[in-house]
Amino acid sequence: MDLNGKRIVITGATSGLGLEVLNLLLKYDVRILAVGRNMTDVPQDEKIFPLQCDVSSQQGVDKVFAEASEKMGGIDLFWANAGFGCYQQFGEPDWVKMEQIFHTNVFSPYYSLQKMLTLYPNQKMLFMVTDSIAGLLEVPGFALYVATKFAINGGMSAIQYEVPKHVTVSIIYPVATKTRFFERAGTSIDKAGPVQSSEACARAILRGIQKDSKKIYPYTLWLPFNFFLKYIPFIKHFTLKTLNLQLQRKWGK
């Protein structure tokens, strides 16, 4: 997508990947609705319309679309990026936590895409969603998060076949990236691997936008790694088993 003149919505623009890409986008002739709950780090710029909003509910997403219409007259690129992780031993019953994580990571992106397709049916558009390598790999310790990201990968990949030619649905699969994600999820990035800087990840996402890529893998070494995981199942099994043993030791099992 040629970015110049485009009206962009970014959810989760207040921190991490969203904020990093937002800053890169400012060198283009764009208008951006920057959405999140804590606006402290969002730069003040005439190209940015900050919107303090929780996107984990239908009302929240509706508010984003109403604001985009009012401030920018529509949307050319919608990036459903808001999301969070949850690092825990699976078992403690917690309906509320499951609702929160599915509402934010799954329902919100799907509902946003439904709104884009309904409100702008004939318009050329790019819809991006931040998935994760955890949407492709069953990482122990992150079961609920993995469930949400697999849900994104599966459904959005199906939708990629359905949408008309003028609509591009793009799925982003970052590896562990240095943002506040791990701290917020209740763990540390030291335990993860491979790891990428948020700057490098953001640059790769920007290249993906410019090329209208349907699948964006910001960490290119993931592709050969994935080849081994996919075609030599023992490697995957061994890697995940070892990770799980470390977790069980940590959790005193």
**Chain residues in the site for ligand NAP (CB under 6 A):** 11-12, 14-18, 36-38, 54-56, 81-85, 104, 130, 132, 174, 176-177, 179-181, 184
CB of 105 to ligand NAP, least distance (A): 6
CB of 186 to ligand NAP, least distance (A): 12
Least gap, CB of 72 to ligand NAP (angstroms): 19
Give the residue with the Cβ less far from ligand NAP, 123 or 188.
188
The alpha carbons of the chain give a radius of gyration, in whole angstroms, of 18
Q: Output 166 or 182, the one with its CB closest to ligand NAP.
A: 182
Between CA 169 and CA 78 the distance in angstroms is 10
Judge whether 98 and 144 are in contact, CB under 8 Å: yes
Q: Is 205 exposed, middle or buried (0-12, 13-18, 19+ CB in 10 A)?
A: buried
Residue 17: what are its φ and ψ, rounded to 5°? -60, -45
Distances in Å between the alpha carbon of 44 and those of 13, 25, 173, 181, 199?
Answer: 13, 14, 29, 24, 20
Of 166 and 180, which has the nearer Cβ to ligand NAP? 180
**Closer CB to ligand NAP, 14 or 168, in the complex:** 14
Q: How far is the CB of 49 from ligand NAP (least distance, A)?
A: 15
Nearest approach, Cβ of 96 to ligand NAP (angstroms)?
A: 14
Looking at the Cβ atoms of 195 and 232, the one nearer to ligand NAP is 195
**What are the residue ranges of helices labelled H in the chain?**
16-25, 58-72, 95-102, 108-119, 143-162, 181-185, 198-211, 222-231, 233-250
Q: Which is nearer to ligand NAP, 125 or 133 (CB)?
A: 133
- For residues 78 and 125, is the Cβ–Cβ distance under 8 A? yes
Distances (CA, A) of 247 to 49, 108, 132: 43, 31, 21
DSSP letter at 51? E
- Which residue's C-beta sits nearest to ligand NAP? 16
> C-beta of 180: minimal distance to ligand NAP in Å?
4
